A and B are shown apart, each in its own frame.
Chain A
Amino acid sequence: MSTLEVSPADTQPGRTGPSIVNDFSIQVSTVNGSGSQTANTVLMRAIFQMGIPVSGKNMFPSNIAGLPTWFTIRASKSGYIGRRKEIDFLVAMNPETAREDVMKLDGGAAVVYDEPLKLNELRSDLHFYPVPFDKLVGPVCPEAKLRKLVRNMIYDGVVAHLLEIDMEEVHKALVKQFGKKKAKAAELNWGAARAGFEYAAKTFTKADPYRVERMNQTAGKIIIDGNASCALGAMFAGVTVVTWYPITPSSSLVETLIGYMRRFRIDPETKRATYAIVQAEDELASIGMALGAGWAGARAMTATAGPGISLMSEFIGLGYYAEVPAVIFDVERVGPSTGLPTRTQQGDLLTTAVLSHGDTKHPMFFPCSPEECFSMTVDAFNFAEQFQTPVFVMTDLDLGMNNWMADPFEYPTTPIRRGKVLTAEDLDRLGGFQRYKDVDGDGVGYRTLPGTKHPHGSYFTRGSGHNEKAQYTEREDDYVNNMDRLAHKFEVMRKHVPEPQVHFNPKARVGFVACGTSDYAVRESCDQLRAEYGIEANYLRLRAYPFTERVKDFIHQHDRVYVVDQNRDGQLLGLMKLDFELDLVAKLRSVRYYGGLPLDARTVTDDVVKQEGK
C-alpha cells in the first residue's frame, strides 16, 4: 500500500491559533504552456468577486512551453496589493521545482500538490493536501489531448474548498474568462473545478489557518493590466499612427490596442480606419515612422522595452533637436542587454532621461497604476504636442503585464490639444513664421504641417544645426541660442509635468521618494515601519521627470530621504543627484532592489531599518 493513501489530515500538524482571514499569499507553480494562466486568473477573479482586495503576479520564463512558471495571488483585507515575499499557500504542479518550492516555505504553510510528487515526505511542519490530478481529470475530460489544459482547473476547485472560496464565484469567473463564444470550454473546465472541489470536500480535513470571507472592497472595480490601460489611454487620446516592433513586455500594449481600435475606431460612415497601426521591421523603423507621422501632424506613438530604447536612441535625438512630438511607451524589463526579458525592473530611467548623443533631455511620465496608465497616456499625447518633443511613458513588466484591480477609468475631461500649429489662415494674418523662434517665451516655436496651403507655409526640418528660420547653420551663436532655447523649454516643462503625490506628516523626520510600481511596497513599508519600529515616514511619489519644485521642498522638509530604485545603480537617485544642489543630495539615501521580481514591502522596510540603525 502506498504511503500516499494515508489520510493527510492524520499526518499533519493540527490547527494552531485562529484562522487567518483575507490576508495571505497563494503561489501556484506550474510549467508554462499548460493552460495554468486560465486557472490562475479564474482563482484570482473569484477572490476579487468576493469583494476582497487581491493582486496576481505572473513570474514566467522567456519561453513558449515547458519551463517553470509561478503565479502568486495575494489577498489582503488591508488593501496591500504589492508582492509579498512569504508564501502561505502553495499549489505545486511542477515536478521540476516542487522540491525547492516546498523547502522555501515558512513553517505552517499549506501545500496542495500532485500526489505522485510525494512532497509530504520533505517536511513535517507544513500542511499537505495531495491530489491525484491524473485520476481526477480522466472522467471530467474524455478527450485525452485536452486533459493537459483542463487538469489545472482541478486545483481551482481544491483551493476553493480549502480556502472557502465560493464555487459560484469560480463559475462566474470561468464564464467571464472564456466568454460566450467558448461556452463549451467553460463547461469542460467547470467540470474539472467541481471534481477538484468534491475530491477535497470528501478527502481533506482542513488543517491550515487560511481562508477567505466576503468583503465589499472591490465593488465596481475592474481587473486590467497596465498595457491594456495604456492602450485604452492611447485610443481615447485620439492616437492616429501607431508603429511598433514586438518585444516583451510591451507587445500586448499594441496588440490590445489593435483589438480596441478595430472595434471602436472604424468610421461608421466611411467604414475606413481612422488610424494606422504598422508592425515595423525593427525599433529603428518604428520610432522613425512615429516621428515622421508626428512631424506630419498625426498623434503618433510606439511601444517598446529596454533593447528597443537603446536602438531608438539616434532617432530620439532627432526628435528632441528637430522638435517632433511622439509618445513612447517603455515597459521596462531587466537589463542590461537581453537581460531577463520576463522579469521586471526600473532599469531604463537614467538612459531614457538623456537618451541619444549630445545634450538631450526628455520628459518621462511614471504611472503607478492602471488608472494612471490610462490618464497619463491621455495627458502624454497633449504634452508631446504642446512641447513638440518625444515624451516617454515609463511603466514596467509588473505594471504592464500583471492583472491589477482598479477603479473604472474616467472619461478624459481635457480636449485634444494640438499645440502650436499654424494654419493657412493664421499665416495670412501673420504673413509668415519662423519655426524655431521663441515667440511666447516658453521655448516652444510655432510649426506648420506639411500640406499647409500657403506660400509661406513650409519649413525644412533637419537634425543638423539650424537657426530660428530652420535654415542650416554652423554658426556658434545660432547653435548656442538654439540649445539654450531647448534647455529653457525643458525648464518650462518642469512646471507642466504631473505633480508628485505627497503623503506628509509634519512629525516625520524621514521620507521616501519613489516612482511607478515601487508605490505598493513603499506604502506598505510606511505602515510596517510605523507599526513595527515606531518610525514615521513621509512619502513623495514622483509622477514625472523633470522633477518639480515640490520634490526639492520635500527633501528640505526631512533629515533623510530614502530614494527607492528597482535597479542596481540607483538610477532615480542618480537623476536627482544630477538635478539638485549638494545640500539636498546630502540628505538622500538609497534603497535598491534588482532581483527581477516586483518589489515587496519587507525588502524596503528591512533596508531602511538597517540604515536608520534600529
Chain B
Amino acid sequence: MSTTLNPPPKKVNRIGLEVLPYKGSKTTLCAGCGHNSISERIVECFYELGVAPHSVAKFSGIGCSSKSPAYFLGMSHGFNAVHGRMPAIATGAILANRELLGLGVTGDGDTASIGIGQFMHLVRRNIPLIYVIENNGVYGLTKGQFSATADLGSTLKGGTPNDLPPFDCCALALKWGATFVARSFSGDKKQLQAILKTAIAHKGLSVIDVISPCVTFNDHEGSTKSYSYVKDHEEALHELDFVPFYEDISVEIGEGETREVTLHDGSHLRIRKLSRDFDPTDRLAALAALEEAETKGEVLTGVLYVNTNKPDFLELLNLETTALATLPESKVRPQREVLDLVMEELR
C-alpha cells in the first residue's frame, strides 16, 4: 500500500475543461465594483454549462464595463470597440460567423447615451447576442458624471441632483423586439447565474440590465444605484432555476407554483412564483410591471420577457447555416459563365 498522497482529482466540466480557461486577466477595476461580480458570474456560467471557449466572441464598447471582457473568458476572441458602437461590431461578426456565441458587455453610458441608436437597432433586428448592460447610473472612467439611466432626483457624489428622467433599457428592449429581457443585481448571485445561463441557451437577442453599483462614484447616500439602495428596494419577480439540456428535469415541484420555459437548445428555465403570478411570455404585462415598479420606487428584477418563437435576424436573411467567413471560393465567386451572361445582357 502506497503512502504517497495523491493530489485530489482536478475538477472539470462536461467538456473536460477546468475553470482556469474560463478566467481572464486580473481585473483593474476598483475593489468592490459590481462589474467584477458580473465577470465572476460569467466565468461560472460558461464553465458550468461547458461552453467551449473558442466558440465565444466577446464584444464591448468603451467605459469601465467595457474593459471587463479582458477579465473573463481569456481563451475567447474579444473585441473592445468604440464608444457606444459595440452593437455594429457584434452584428457584423455574427453575420460573418453565425456559429459564434456572441457575448456583449456594455455600460449605461455606452448603451443609453452615445449608443442608444445602435442599441435600439440591435433590439429591432433581434441579433442573436447576449447583451449585458452593467448599469451603475454614472460615468466611472471619466470620474462621476450622470448617465442617462440615472434616476430623477438621484444625486452625484457632490450632492448635485439629476433633473432628467432615466431611460429604462429593459422597457426599450421590450418595446422594440428583444426576445429575452431580464434585470438583475450584481449582488444577486443565484438570480444572475440563472439569467446568464438562460441567455446562453436562448436563440435571439438577450438584453440583461444588471444594476452594478459603482463603489467610487455612485455608492453614496442619495444615489439610487448604490448597494444599500438596491438591496433595500429590490423586488424579485420570481425565483429562477436553470436546468441545462443535458440534465434530468424529472424532479417536479408543486403544481401551479412554477412555470417552465423550454429554450432553443432543450434547456429549461424554471420560474417559481413569489408574491405575484407573473407570466414572462406576456410582453405587455412586463411593460406594465416596469411602470408600476417605477412608480413605487422598486428595483424590479427577474426575467421580464422571453419569446422562443420569433425568428432572429439570421433567419430573416436566409443565411447559409455555416459561417460565411470561411465559405470556399467555389461558393462565393460565381463561375465564368455568370460573368459572360451578365456581359451579354449589357451589350
A residues at B contact (CB < 8 Å): 220-224, 232, 235-241, 243, 260, 264-265, 267, 270-276, 278, 280-282, 284-300, 314-315, 318, 408-409, 411-412, 415-416, 448-455, 457-464, 472
Contacts and interface: CB of A to CB of B under 8 A. Distances in A.
Given A240-B332, A272-B321, A296-B93, 17 more contacts: A224-B346, A240-B96, A264-B334, A278-B317, A280-B88, A281-B118, A282-B117, A291-B92, A292-B91, A296-B94, A297-B96, A318-B82, A449-B326, A450-B100, A455-B21, A461-B77, A461-B79
Contact of B93 (A295, A314, A455): A295
Most buried by A among B53, B82, B88, B117: B88
Contacts of B96: 240-241, 292-298, 300
Interface string B87-108: 1111111111101100000000
B276 interface: no
A273 B317 contact: yes
Nearest to B121: A281
Nearest to A415: B329
A314 B92 contact: no
Interface in B85-143: 85, 87-97, 99-100, 117-118, 121
Contacts of B92: 241, 243, 288-296, 298, 300
B266 to A, nearest CB: 23
Closest 7 CB pairs of A and B: A292-B92, A288-B88, A297-B325, A298-B96, A238-B332, A450-B77, A289-B92
B121 A285 contact: yes
Given A232-B342, A270-B321, A221 B57 contact: no
A236 B343 CA distance: 13
Contact of A298 (B87, B324, B331): B324
Interface in B47-105: 52-55, 57, 69-70, 74-82, 85, 87-97, 99-100
14 contacts: A272-B319, A275-B324, A280-B121, A288-B87, A289-B89, A289-B95, A291-B92, A416-B329, A449-B97, A453-B54, A458-B75, A458-B76, A458-B78, A461-B77
B26 to A, nearest CB: 12
A234 B143 CA distance: 46
B346 A222 contact: yes
Question: Which secondary structure dominates where chain B touches chain A?
Answer: helix
A59 to B, nearest CB: 23
Contacts of B94: 292, 296
A453 B339 CA distance: 37
A412 B335 CA distance: 10
Nearest to A449: B325
Contacts of B82: 288, 314-315, 318, 463
Given A288-B85, A449-B325, A455-B75, A461 B80 contact: yes
B347 interface: yes
Nearest to A302: B92
B320 A267 contact: yes
A293 to B, nearest CB: 4
Contacts of A416: 329, 332-333
Contacts of A453: 52, 54
B80 A462 contact: yes
Contacts of A267: 320, 331
A274 B331 contact: yes
B311 to A, nearest CB: 14
Contact of B332 (A265, A270, A292, A450): A265
Contacts of B317: 273, 276, 278
A273 B315 CA distance: 11
B285 interface: no
B342 A296 contact: no
Nearest to B314: A276
A460 B80 contact: yes
B301 to A, nearest CB: 30
B324 A241 contact: yes
A291 B334 contact: no
B97 A451 contact: yes
Contacts of A289: 88-89, 91-92, 95
Contacts of B326: 297, 449
A314 B85 CA distance: 10
Contacts of B21: 455
Nearest to A288: B88
Contacts of A451: 54-55, 57, 77, 97, 99-100, 323, 325
A292 B89 contact: yes
A415 B329 CA distance: 8
B343 A409 contact: yes
A417 to B, nearest CB: 10
A385 to B, nearest CB: 11
Interface in B7-61: 21, 52-55, 57
A240 B77 contact: no
B70 A472 contact: yes
Nearest to B337: A411
B338 interface: yes
Nearest to B323: A451
Contact of A274 (B81, B88, B320, B347): B320
A271 B80 CA distance: 35
A258 to B, nearest CB: 12
A238 B338 contact: no
B327 interface: yes
A443 B237 CA distance: 55
B347 A220 contact: yes
A358 B95 CA distance: 30
Contacts of A293: 92-93, 95-96, 325
A204 to B, nearest CB: 33
A264 B335 CA distance: 9
Interface core residue of A265, A267, A298, A457 (most chain B CB under 10 Å): A298
Interface in B277-327: 317-321, 323-327
